[in-house]
Amino acid sequence: MDKVKVGIIFGGTTEEHPVSVKSAQEVARNLDTEKYEPFWIGITKSGEWKLCDGPDAGWENGGGRPVVLSPDRGVHGLVVLEQGRYETIRLDVVLPLLHGRLGEDGAMQGLLELAGVPYAGCDVSGSALCMDKSLTYLVIRNAGIATPKFWTVAADDTIDPGLLPYPVFVKPARSGSSFGVSKVSRPEELPGAVETARQYDAKVLIEEAVEGSEIGCAILGNDPDLLVGELDRVALSHGFFKIHQESNPEAGSENSTFIVPADIPVESRTLVLETAKAVYRALGCRGLSRVDMFLKADGTVVLNEVNTLPGLTSYSRYPRMMAAAGLPLAEVIDRMILLALTGKLQ
């Protein structure tokens, strides 16, 4: 039986580049090469596409052949360029392991749609909707699910610091991880926090702080057939939760640990799971996503954000929650590919 030809795209030009490479490295350790023939497509920080042997150290500065994903459906995959000649590689499916802008926002998904190549994860509209947190909140509110109170600040706009109920969080509206996020406790801190966020996105989101435990829910599948991992809870020692900001995240966070399964009451667990699935459906998610929520002291649930291509690194929350539910990363990858090819988990 022929192996499934899988294009695995990683790297990218944004601040999420190192995280994406680590996700690809973990996928490489868990991909069943008896079933799949991987084609590793690394995007350098400067935006060059390279067909390489894998995501190990040196791929970006050493070998690799120039490659493009062709939007021509007759090619249905890659065009490899070398010494004035080219060859084509037909792909059966693509795993886009790109986080944040230009990977998780619908841009890569749009290229794959043009190419006619099946791919894992959310489609163009779901990716774009979840990437812009202000649009996410508008849709979710319309679905009757609670979100933080929020304000948006467009490019070159200003907001009166005296109008806000402190503390607030200031963040890029369309960015990943915790890059550019600040907690603001006093009006005089607001302008600096807005400028920090604008280093990553011209559109800035300001959210009223929500008092509660941060709970994550890993979801795999297409509606109505959804598989969920064990919930996790972010336990903070101080400050606020930041991810991928440490110099050595593999050694753990400086201010947070993850409790899996989340140590919350059974009725709260049920509410969080049902809310997460309702969010997933309302936003048109497919394939996989991690839905992050706040569980307040009164037992109510408030959406935090949705990650449509969550990290798959050795220390990432999504694979940890799935593993706790009995689904190791190798099986998660299998099901991601199956969903991309057939639309069904089994």
Domain boundaries, the chain: 4-119, 128-147+211-342, 150-208
| The architecture CATH gives domain 4-119 | 3-Layer(aba) Sandwich (3.40)
Q: Which of 290, 317, 320, 335 is catalytic?
A: 290
221: left (phi over 0), alpha (psi -120 to 50) or beta: left
Q: Which of 221, 315, 317, 332 is catalytic?
A: 315
Asked if 188 is an active-site residue, the reply is no
Asked if 36 is an active-site residue, the reply is no
CATH T-level fold of 150-208? Dna Ligase; domain 1 (3.30.1490)
The SS3 assignment for 8 reads strand
Q: Which of 17, 50, 99, 320 is catalytic?
A: 99
Q: Which of 34, 250, 267, 326 is catalytic?
A: 250
Asked if 17 is an active-site residue, the reply is no
Smallest Cα–Cα separation from 65: which of 91, 96, 42? 42
Total residue count of the chain as it appears in this document: 346
Asked if 19 is an active-site residue, the reply is yes
Which tokens go with 261? 């399964």
Model pTM score: 0.92
> Per residue of the chain (346 residues), what is the pLDDT tens digit?
689 999 999 999 998 999 999 999 999 999 999 999 999 999 999 999 999 999 998 898 877 899 999 999 999 999 998 888 999 999 999 999 999 889 999 999 999 999 999 999 999 999 999 999 999 999 999 999 999 999 999 988 888 999 899 999 999 999 876 789 999 999 999 999 999 999 999 999 999 999 999 999 999 999 999 999 999 999 876 455 555 555 556 555 565 789 999 999 999 999 999 999 999 999 999 999 999 999 999 999 999 999 999 999 999 999 999 999 999 999 999 999 999 999 988 7
Asked if 318 is an active-site residue, the reply is no
CA pair distance 333, 217, nearest whole angstrom: 18
Q: Which of 6, 17, 22, 279 is catalytic?
A: 22
Q: Name 94's bridge partners.
A: 7, 119
- 174 close to 154: Cβ distance less than 8 angstroms: no
Q: Which of 6, 19, 21, 204 is catalytic?
A: 19
Phi, psi of 252 (to 5 degrees): 110, 165
What CATH code would you report for 128-147+211-342? 3.30.470.20
